[in-house]
Structure 1
C-alpha cells in the first residue's frame, strides 16, 4: 500500500513552481496584512517567514526537477580536447572515458517512464531529431573513469560507420601512450586522423621518436616489418602463413599440403643458415626447392658425414654430374643410416613430389605469397638491406621491448585482400611474441596495448588465441567492429565468432543498427523492475433506480521486468554517445570528446 502512494511520475509538469509562487504570495500578503491591520507583529512576521520558507522549499524542488527536464531537452554538443588536456586528465590506475555517469536502475526507470509517456507528448515533436540526446540528460554528467585493471579482460567496441569508434580509439590510444606503454595500432582503413593523433600525443610528451609508421601506400616514409622474425618453434612460421589460405574448416587437404610445403622450406632455410622471409618462401615454392635442397644436403654432409666428397663421387658419376640427384641418392642409401635428418627427409619429399600435382595443391598458397611480396611489400615485409642503409627495420618484439607506438595502416580501401593478408600475418606475429612471453617469462611489467579497428577484416585463428591466452603475457586487446555477424562471415564459423565475443569482458556500444548485435549487448545485462502507474476512472447509472449514479477512481502502481538497456535504444544513440558494460558489472552512459590539436580554438561547436 505504501509503495503505491509513494509512486511519483518523473516526467510530470513542474507543479512546484506555481506552489512556490503561491507561498511567496502568501508571505507578502501576510506582511501587508500585518502592516495595515491590528495583527500582532511577531505573529505576522513569523507567519510570513514560515510561508517564505515553504516557498523556498518548493522552489528548490522545482529547480531540481526543471534541471532534470532541461538536461533531457538540451542537445549535447561536440566537444574537443587537446593532447595536453587529455594527458592532464589521467589518474593513476584509472582510464578516462569522457563525460557521463553510472547507468543504474534509477536512470533506466526514468527512461522507461519517458518512453511509456511518449517523447513527443512530453517535449514536443520538434524534440525528436538527431538521436536520443535525452538519454544523456537522465542524470548529471561528470568525468567518467574506469579501473585500468578491467582492460586485462580485453575490450570490444561495436558501432555503425561514422558514430565514433575511431574517436574512442583516439582517447584510449592517447592514454596508453601517456602511460609509457607499448602500443600497436592495426587500422585496415588507414585513417589519417588516427595516425596523426597518435603522433601528436608522442610529440606532446616530448617523445616523437617512439612513433613508428607503416603503410603500404607510403613506402617512402614507412618502416619495414619482418612478420616472420619472431618464433619459438619452426612450425609456427608455416602455420602463420597457412592460416591465410582460404578454407572453410582450416583442415582441408590444400591447407594441410600448403603447410607441409612451407614447413619443409622453412626447415631447409634454417638448416642452411638463412633467415626465412616471405620472398624466399615464394621463390622456392614457385620455382621449386632444387637450389635450397642442394645447399641443405651439402651443409648436412659437411657437418655430419666424414669424407663425404670422396664417398659421394661414385653417385655423381652414376648420375652423370647431376649433383642434386647424386646427393639425394647418396643420402638415401648411405647417410640416412649414419646421420638421418628429418628436415632433409621432408625437403626431399617436397622436391620429389609430382610437379603437376604439386602446382595444383599450392595453387591457393601462391597468390597469398604473391600479394605479400609484390612491390612495395617486397622491402616492407621482407627487408634484406645492405649494412649502412637508413631504412627503419623492426618487428613486433622490438616494438614491444622499446615501448614504441606503432601504427599499421593496411590500405584496405584500395586493396582489401592484400590489406587483410598483411593484418592477419602481423597479428599472427604478435601471437608468437605473446607465446614467447608466456612460455619464457615477461621481462617487463608494462602491459602491451593492441588496438584493431574494423577487426573483422583481419581476425584469424591466431588472433583468437591471442584473445584467449594473451592476458597472461600482458596483452590488452581492444577490437572494434560494426556487427557481430562480421566475425562469423570472416571466420566462416559462428562458433569461432562467439569465441571472439566470449573473450572480451568489456563491451562498449555506440550507435548500432544491427538487431542481432543490439540483442547480444542487451542480453548480457541483468534486468530491472520498471515501475508504472495505472489510473482508472469509472461511472455507472443504474437503469432500475431513478437517478442512481456511482463513480470510481483507482490508482495502481505496477512493476514489470524490463531491460537496463533496451536493444532498440542502441540504434537511437547520437554520434559519439555510448553505453559501456565493464567487467565487474559497472554500466556507463557516456559521450566522447574529439581529440584535436586545435581544440582550444574550437572548444564547442
Structure 2
C-alpha cells in the first residue's frame, strides 16, 4: 500500500499478501535450492535477501489493509484501571483519538460507497451466529452463552452494545492520547452527549485527575448517581485526601454533610435573592416574587441584626409568624436606643383593649402587644427613633392576614419542601448541637482547605428542592468568587499562601441546575479561578430550562472548550460542525466513449477510450 497517491485505496482485498507469499517462496527457493533457478550460492543469498525484503514490505502493507478493514467493523478493546489514568500538572488526559483532517473526511466518505459495503457489514458467519443464538435461547442456552462469550477465542463474539458508528474511529488505526492544556480549562468546558453514551464515565475520568492533582474539586450531580459518588469517595481516599472529603446528598441525609444555603453571604440581600430566585417570574408571578423577595429580605436583615444566622427554618418560622420577629426586634432596638419608650409600651398594653386593635391587624398572634408598640412608636417620643429594619417590620405586620397569605402563597410551598423531614436537618443545621457529628461546610472553608465535595441533589425524588438547593449553592459560589476576586482566598489571614486556588466544578446534567445564578458563575468566575466543566444532553435542554434563547446563547458562548459525544439533535451537533473548515473530497468517475474516424482511407473506423 502506497501513500504517494492522492486517492487512497483501502477498502479492497489485501492483494499485497499475494506478492508477499510469492516473494517469500522465492526467497526460500533461493536459499534451499539455488540450482533450481540456476543461481550460484554466492548470488542466491543476495537474491533471497531481496525477495525477503519485498515479502516483509508487502506483508506490512497488506496487514495495514486488513487492520483498517477490521477497525471499521470492531474497534480494539480499550480499557484502563484507575491506577493507569495519567495525571499531569500541565495537561488534562481526555482519552484516545486523533486529529481529524481532510484525509479522514475522504475515508469516511469512501465507506458510504455501495461497492465497499461488504467490508463494513458483519460477515455471514457473524449473522448466522446471532440467528442461532436467538433460536437456541431456551432450548440450548449453553450454546447461546458459548456464541456470545466476550473473548478473543470466540471468532463470532457479538459487537459491544455501545451504538454509534465504529467507522468514525476506525478510519484512523493509529490513535494517540488526547490531552488538553490545563491553562485552557479556565475558559470552561461543556460536554454534550445523549443518554447513556459515557458522560458520567468521562466525568469520572476528569474528576479523578483533578483530585489527584490536589486541587479543589466540587461535583454537582442532580441525579445523585451512586457510582459517581463512590468514585469520588474512592479516588479521594486513594489520593490520601480522605479528611478533605465532604459528601452532601439529599437522598441519604444520614451520611450527608450539612450545608446552610443562605447562611453565608457578602450582602444580606443575597439571602432574599437565593430564596425568591427559585420562584416563577413569568407573567403575573413576577409581582408576587418581588414581594416575596422584599419580605424575606426584611426577615434576613432582622435576624442578622439580632445576631442570628439565617436559614430556611428560621425564614419559614417568621414568614408564618412575622409578629414574633417584630416584637423581638422592636424590644431590642427600643431598649438599646430609646429605653424610656418601654414604659409607654407597658402602659399602652394595660390601657388598650382588643377592640382598639385595627381590623387589618386582628387575628395575628400578640395583636394587642403589637398595637401597643405601634402606638408608642407613633407618639412624639417614638418618632425620634428611626431604624430601617424596624420600619420594614412595621410595614409587614400592618398587612391584613388574609391578604398577606395570598401574596406569599408561592413562597410557602417552597419553604415547606425545604424544611420538611430530614432535609431540614441538612439545609438548616443546628450549630449548637454537639451530638450531631455530621460536618457543616461552606464554600470559603472548602476552597481554603482545598477539599473535595460531592453534591447529590436527588432530583428524581423532588426536582424543585434539588433545583432550589443547587441554585442556592451556585449563588453562594458566585458570592465567594466575588470575594476571592477582590481580596484573595485568604483575605489577609496570616499563614495563607498568596495567589488563587484553582476551583474545578463538575456539573453533571447541568441543565437541571440552570438558573440566573449559574450565568455569572461562568461569565465572571474565571477571574477567581473557577473552572466549570458542564455535562448535558442537548443545547435545547438549556433553553428549555432557562426559557430564553438569548440567555441560552450567552451560556453557550461562555464555554470555550467543547467536547461532543454522540448526540441525536442536529442543532446540538451543529455547535461543532459549524466550527469545522470545509474541505474538498475526491470522487472516482468512470468515463468511456468513442469517436468515429472521418477519414475514409484510414485503417480504423473509430477510436474508443476509458478513463477514471
Structure 1 spans left out of the alignment, 5+ residues: 556-605
Relative distance call for 1:119 and 1:509 in structure 2 (3 A) is: farther
Give the greater-gyration-radius structure (CA).
Answer: 2
Relative distance call for 1:272 and 1:124 in structure 2 (3 A) is: closer
**Equivalent position SS for 2:482:** helix
Cα shift at 1:169: 1.1
Number of the residue aligned with 1:538: 592
| Pairwise CA RMSD | 3.1
**Equivalent position SS for 2:553:** helix
**Equivalent position SS for 1:132:** coil
Tell whether the 8 Å contact from 1:24 to 1:51 is kept in structure 2 after alignment.
yes
Query: d(CA) in 2 for partners of 1:458 and 1:335?
Result: 52
1:113 aligns with 2:115: no
Query: d(CA) in 1 for partners of 2:21 and 2:545?
Result: 65
**Equivalent position SS for 2:98:** strand
Number of the residue aligned with 1:559: none
Residues 548-587 of structure 1: pairs in structure 2 closer than 5 A = 548-555=605-612
Query: d(CA) in 2 for partners of 1:180 and 1:281?
Result: 38
1:55-87 CA-to-partner distances (Å, cap 9, x unmatched) read 4433333333433333333334362413x333x
1:472 aligns with 2:527: yes
Number of the residue aligned with 1:326: 372
**Equivalent position SS for 1:168:** helix
Query: d(CA) in 2 for partners of 1:48 and 1:194?
Result: 61
1:362 aligns with 2:361: no
1:135 aligns with 2:168: yes
Number of the residue aligned with 1:218: 252
Tell whether the 8 Å contact from 2:11 to 2:116 is kept in structure 1 after alignment.
no
1:100 to 77, 97, 102: 97
Query: d(CA) in 1 for partners of 2:230 and 2:204?
Result: 10
**Equivalent position SS for 2:270:** helix
Relative distance call for 1:446 and 1:116 in structure 2 (3 A) is: farther
Number of the residue aligned with 2:469: 422
1:201 aligns with 2:227: no
Cα shift at 1:201: 1.0
Tell whether the 8 Å contact from 2:250 to 2:458 is kept in structure 1 after alignment.
yes
Relative distance call for 1:553 and 1:234 in structure 2 (3 A) is: same
**Equivalent position SS for 1:346:** helix
Relative distance call for 1:309 and 1:196 in structure 2 (3 A) is: same
Return the TM-score normalized by structure 2. 0.81
**Equivalent position SS for 1:534:** coil
Structure whose residues are more often strand by fraction: 1
Cα shift at 1:122: 3.1
Structure 2 spans left out of the alignment, 5+ residues: 128-158, 355-367, 491-498
2:580 to 521, 526, 538: 526
**Equivalent position SS for 1:185:** strand
Residues 172-571 of structure 1: pairs in structure 2 closer than 5 A = 172-248=206-282, 252-287=286-321, 289-305=322-338, 307-310=340-343, 319=352, 322-334=368-380, 338-389=384-435, 390-443=437-490, 445-523=500-578, 525-540=579-594, 542=596, 548-555=605-612
Query: d(CA) in 2 for partners of 1:262 and 1:279?
Result: 12
Relative distance call for 1:159 and 1:117 in structure 2 (3 A) is: same
Number of the residue aligned with 1:565: none
Cα shift at 1:231: 0.7
Query: d(CA) in 2 for partners of 1:552 and 1:201?
Result: 69
